[in-house]
Amino acid sequence: MKYLCLIYDEERKIDALSKAEMAAVMGEYNAFTQSIKGSGQWLAGHALKRVATATTVRVRAGRTTTTDGPFAETKEQLGGFYLIEARDLNEALQIAARIPSAKLGSVEVRPIEQFD
Amino acid sequence: MSEGPERPVRETVETIYRAESRRVLATLIRLLGDFDLAEEALHDAFVAAVAAWPAGLPANPRAWLVSTGRFKAIDALRRRARFGASLAARADLLASGHADAAEAGDAALADDPLRLIFTCCHPALPPDAQVALTLREVCGLTTEEIARAFLVGPPTIAQRIVRAKTKIREAGIPYAVPEAGELRERLEAVLRVVYLVFNEGYVASAGPDLTRTRLTDEAIRLARLLFELLPDAEVGGLLALLLLTEARRRARTNAAGEVVLLADQDRSLWDAPLIAEGLRLVERVLGSRPVGPYALQAAIAAVHAEASAAPLTDWPQIVALYELLLGIAPSPIVELNRAAAIAMARRAESRSSRRSSRAASWPTTARPTPLGPSCCAASGATRTRRAPTAARWN
């Protein structure tokens, strides 16, 4: 099955990291990405730019409204994702737990809908 | 044909239904990969048994039921296949599978009830759904019976179960016993469900007595099944805790139905065989390391059970056990109980009626704990997540 791992982090916490700490996190991410590419479970994955760069589009009654940001009052923001291939939810959760941000923020694991 | 032989067969089928239906269901869920299809197949298999068994009882009724259920499911999928090609493909896939390998009395078959329990208690499901699904699928209670026990409407329970089954299917929750690395944490969720079922039956303030007894009975049955399949110390600890608590049932309410506190209970009403079984289990599980929160709570219940009268309770022993419990599963309730036990121990001491501790053979004694903090070093999961405590169980 395919699962999307949505990575939520507190941008404020990330900003507070020192250069050395940030480098360590990036190193962990590189190692993690390499390992799931090696095991053939990596399908896609990207980090996202800061939430301040986000724009939200809505179409209502034929009218398009464009606003800045998602105005969610949550502490954690969507910061990136991995699309992975896993045998079942248990395996997907094991992989998600290895994403470095699982220790800092949280990772939401969602199965991909297959239309047939 | 005379009706003579039919009635005994019907009774045999009923007996086998009670003994085997949950195991057959557990295997059918694995073979068919679908809860609803498996339940239908189970039902069809028993209908077929009533028709076929008068001609001769199969040598292995469970295997017969699994095999019949599987074929009934294939038939059902083929009948529905005209609505969609994917169902036909599924039926073909099932029919082509190696029936022998799937149904033989191998390890996979033996593990099916355990698979079912772990799937129903998967942490990806909300806790109330875990409880409802376990009672429905593992214990075989009807939706109405579960609703009555939890004082909610049957549609609420039905909806919980439907949503849980949908999530199992859509999110890919596997029908599997967790791998060794995650077994401890996952087992905690299972034990919590068993504990919640018992608790609901034991302390529920309302609801007919009969349904409440049903819940405590089911919880004990579940704990026994788990311990049989997975003889882990914490499983044994929970089973012992439930047995020792259940043993006090007759003494905990008076004729007017009012609650009688532990200290005031007529201990001759306690169930001696249950206590004996509980005590044996406690001795056994306290021998393993690390000692977990359920084993410790069982040990506390055991100290109470060993006192033939309330003033004879070995309070220093109870204080020591609460201290160990605080170390691995701290909570305000444990703190409070420890304080109460200390007060009782002082009162007993001032009566200067020192008695030798019968529990001296246990590894947990009142004096500087030989277990120490390291031997009670529970898994991280135990430490971070608060273990339920039986404090409300008088």
A24 in contact with B, Cβ within 8 Å = no
pLDDT for residue B324: 94
> Between B86, B171, B179, which is nearest A89 by CB?
B171
Spatial separation of the C-alpha atoms in residues B4 and B10, rounded to whole Å: 11
Note the pLDDT of residue B359: 42
- What's residue B99's pLDDT? 53
Euclidean distance between CA atoms B120 and B133, whole angstroms: 6
Percent of chain A with pLDDT over 90: 75
**Residue A108 touches chain B, beta carbons under 8 Å:** no
Lowest mean pLDDT among A85-89, B33-37, B83-87, B256-260: B83-87
Indicate yes or no: CB of A90 within 8 angstroms of CB of B182.
yes
Choose, out of A88, A90, A115, the residue to mutate when testing the contact with B (most B CBs < 10 Å). Answer: A90
d(CA B73, CA B107): 23
Q: Which two tokens stand for residue B260?
A: 């009688």
Higher-scoring residue by pLDDT: B4, B268? B268
pLDDT digits (tens, 9 = 90+) for B212-230: 788 899 999 999 999 998 8
For residues B178 and B176, give the distance between their C-alpha atoms in angstroms, rounded to a whole number: 6
CA distances from B44 to B21, B37, B55, B341, B388 (A): 12, 10, 18, 56, 40
Percent of chain B whose predicted confidence (pLDDT) is above 70: 81
Q: Is the pLDDT of residue B75 over 80?
A: yes
Model pLDDT, residue A68: 83
pLDDT tens-digit readout, A8-38: 999 888 899 999 999 999 999 999 999 999 9
Higher pLDDT, B187 or B365: B187
Mean pLDDT of A40-57: 92
The closest alpha carbon to B33, from B172, B162, B137, B130, belongs to: B172
Q: What confidence score (pLDDT) does residue B256 get?
A: 82
ipTM over 0.85? The verdict is no
Measure B50 CA to nearest chain A CA, in Å: 38
- Over residues B150-159, the mean pLDDT reads 92
Rounded to the nearest angstrom, the minimum Cα separation between A68 and chain B is 32
Confidence label for B8 from pLDDT (cuts 50, 70 and 90): confident
| Radius of gyration of the CA atoms of chain A, in A | 16
* Band of pLDDT at residue A66, cut at 50, 70 and 90: confident
CB-CB under 8 Å, B124 with A89? yes
In chain B, residues 107-126 whose CB comes closer than 8 Å to chain A? 122, 124
For the cut 60, the answer to whether the pLDDT of residue B192 exceeds it is yes
Residue B16 forms contact with A (CB below 8 Å): no
Tell me whether residues B176 and A88 touch, CB distance under 8 A: yes
Q: What is the DSSP string of B98-116?
A: -HHHHHSSSHHHHHHHHHH
CA distance A108 to chain B (A): 11
Assess whether pLDDT exceeds 60 at residue A74.
yes
Q: How far is residue B312's CA from residue B317's CA, in Å, rounded to a whole number?
A: 12
A89 to B174: CB separation less than 8 angstroms, yes or no: yes
Nearest CB neighbour to B170, from listed A86, A92, A111: A111
CB contact under 8 A, A87 and B174: yes
CB contact A92 to B (< 8 Å) = yes
Q: Is the full-model pTM beyond 0.80?
A: no
pLDDT at res. B383: 35
* Per-residue H/E/C for A57-83: EEEECCEEEEEECCCCCCCCEEEEEEE
Residues of A in contact with B124 (CB under 8 A): 89, 93
Answer yes or no: do B174 and A111 touch at CB < 8 A.
Answer: no
* Contact criterion met (CB below 8 Å) for A47 and A8: no
Question: Residue B206's pLDDT band (boundaries 50, 70, 90)?
Answer: low
Mean of the pLDDT values across residues A67-88?
A: 86
Contact with chain B for residue A103, Cβ under 8 A: no
Identify the bridge partners of residue B158 per DSSP, sorted by sequence position: none
B50-109 residues touching A, CB cutoff 8 A: 86
Please name the residue of chain A whose CA is at the shortest distance from the CA of residue B119: A90
What is the interface size between A and B, counted as CB pairs within 8 Å? 27
- Res B255: pLDDT: 83
Across the range B285-289, mean pLDDT stands at: 87
List the single residue in A1, A90, A111 with the smallest CB-CB distance to B178.
A90
pLDDT tier at B106 (50, 70, 90 boundaries)? low
The closest CB to that of A116, out of B86, B174, B179, belongs to B86
- Write out the two tokens for B237: 């600890």
A115 in contact with B, Cβ within 8 Å: no
Q: Evaluate if residue B162 carries a pLDDT over 60.
A: yes
* Minimum Cα–Cα distance from A4: chain B residue: B171
Residue B152 in this model has a pLDDT that exceeds 60: yes
Q: How confident is the model at residue B208, as a pLDDT?
A: 64
